[in-house]
Amino acid sequence: MTERLDGTVALVTGASSGIGEATARQLAAQGAAVALVARRKERLEKLAAKITASGGTALVLAADVSRQDEAIAVVEQTIKEMGRLDTLVNNAGVMLLGNIQGADTDEWERMIDINLKGLLYASHAALPYLLKAAEDSPRQVSDVINISSVAGRRARMGAGVYNATKFGVVAFTESLRQEVTGRHVRVSVVEPGVVATELTDHMKPEVREQTMKPFAGITPLEPEDIADIIAFIVTRPWRSAINEVLVRPTEQA
């Protein structure tokens, strides 16, 4: 049984491209009003226009959620403009692969700041409202969806710090789940394999070529494949909590 999301509000971080953009569109198609968060405002505005043109409701919130003040501000602005918060999708992230020896440690900081701290700050700021939504709403439930990765389940050479952030997301998700599931906030983690997005664009070309070699020649997932899974999780009846989804392209070993 699928439940539509009419009357609910979802906040999606990293909504300016890839998985976040597709997820925002899917949740809006299911009836949720969506708060779109990322740093590239013009990309968010284009997405908001598409959602509005399809009859949906969208709010553009340009922010860097690795900064706690900005993570708090986007949650507060969502409540101010949209009145409630039922779904938080912690999707914003970067992947800067490379060996540990001789690494540019600024890249480590960037991954830890957004993949981990951004997710922690957004969750912390949103939690009081998610608890309230679970209590108030006829749906009797609210949701946090954290985007980890296959890299959060299996470490490999050349991905150490990305692995550390994504393993961290899995651990945090399970701890938070235990803390709030009794109060009907479902906390889920989604762990995709290779998805065709802009994620690898931020790496130095030579590093990208080397570290992505194992995935050459496979047909990747599309962002919509992950958005479908997120929409499926959120549209379950309150009694059913999908805690974890690991999804790879069929050809990914």
Rounded Cα distance between 176 and 187, Å, is 7
Binding flag, residue 78, ligand NDP (CB under 6 A): no
CA 76 – CA 26 distance, rounded (Å): 23
Asked if 51 interacts with ligand NDP (CB under 6 A), we say no
CB contact set of 195 (below 8 Å; sequence gap of 6+): 18, 19, 220, 221, 222, 223, 225, 226
Q: How far is the CB of 196 from ligand NDP (least distance, A)?
A: 7
Q: Does 235 bind ligand NDP (CB under 6 A)?
A: no
Binding test (CB under 6 A) with ligand NDP, winner from 14, 98, 168, 249:
14
Reference 130, options 170, 73, 89; nearest CA is 89
Range 111-170, binding ligand NDP (CB under 6 A): 114, 118, 147, 149
Give me the least distance between CB of 119 and ligand NDP, in Å please: 8
Should residue 18 be labelled a site residue for ligand NDP when binding is judged by CB under 6 A? yes
Give whichever of 8 and 90 is closer to ligand NDP, judged by the CB atom.
90
Question: Any contact of residue 42 with ligand NDP (CB under 6 A)?
Answer: no
13 binds ligand NDP (CB under 6 A): yes
Would residue 162 show up in a list of annotated catalytic residues for this protein? yes
Give whichever of 93 and 168 is closer to ligand NDP, judged by the CB atom: 93
Structure tokens at 59: 């709010």
Q: How far apart are CA 95 and CA 248, in angstroms?
A: 17
Our finding on whether 95 is near ligand NDP (CB under 6 A) is: yes
CA distance 64 to 244: 27
Position among 61, 87, 88, 93 found at the interface with ligand NDP (CB under 6 A):
93
Which of 114, 162, 169, 235 is the catalytic position?
162
Q: Where are the beta strands (DSSP E) in 86-174?
A: 87-90, 142-147
Q: What angle do CA 198, 123, 51 make, to 5 degrees?
A: 50
Nearest 10 degrees: CA dihedral of 208, 42, 196, 15? Answer: 110
Residue ranges that bind ligand NDP, judged by CB under 6 A: 13-20, 38-40, 43, 64-66, 91-95, 114, 118, 147, 149, 192, 194-195, 197-199
Active site (catalytic) residues: 162
